């Protein structure tokens, strides 16, 4: 299948967003950023499928709606080559959206401070069911 290319559009053209979230809030927020012209890359874990993907019970409407204007990659960002490639993508990303429980990325060795070492200007946007204290609410130094 040939890759489709589109002319940049919208007020967020030139903004690169990495999406590590899976369900509803994060993908929907990223879809809206894509609607406004951001370059959104959704990253899925190869060991567990995204809950909005089609299955015997649900036709996958969430994937079609919440992944619009996004490109997709599949990699395990927690370690090895996946982490290496993820950090490479982070180098020129503007925004990172994650949907993990508070502290999960810290457990993987990817604290906000570690991510800011890769890209000091990165905006980290956690999408959580319950609010948690998060370093992203502080301005990076």
Q: What are phi and psi of 74, to 5 degrees?
A: -125, 115
pLDDT at 135 over 60: no
Q: What angle do CA 72, 58, 22 make, to 5 degrees?
A: 35
- Render pLDDT for 6-22 as a digit per residue (tens, 0 to 9): 677 899 999 999 999 88
What was the pLDDT predicted at 67?
A: 76
Average pLDDT, the chain: 83
What was the pLDDT predicted at 52?
A: 61
Asked if residues 62 and 40 have their Cβ atoms less than 8 Å apart, the reply is no
């Amino acid at each position: 299948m040939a890759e489709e290319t589109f002319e940049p559009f919208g007020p967020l053209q030139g903004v690169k967003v990495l999406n590590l979230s899976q369900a509803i809030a994060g993908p929907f927020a990223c879809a809206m950023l894509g609607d406004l012209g951001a370059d959104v890359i959704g990253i899925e874990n190869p060991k567990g499928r995204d809950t909005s993907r089609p299955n015997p019970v649900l036709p996958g409407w969430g994937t079609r709606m919440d992944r619009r204007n996004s490109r997709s990659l599949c990699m395990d960002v927690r370690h090895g080559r996946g982490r290496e490639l993820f950090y490479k993508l982070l180098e020129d990303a503007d925004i990172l959206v994650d949907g993990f429980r508070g502290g999960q990325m810290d457990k993987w060795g990817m604290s906000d401070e570690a991510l800011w070492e890769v890209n000091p200007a990165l905006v980290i946007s956690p999408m959580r069911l319950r609010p948690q204290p998060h370093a992203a609410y502080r301005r990076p130094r």
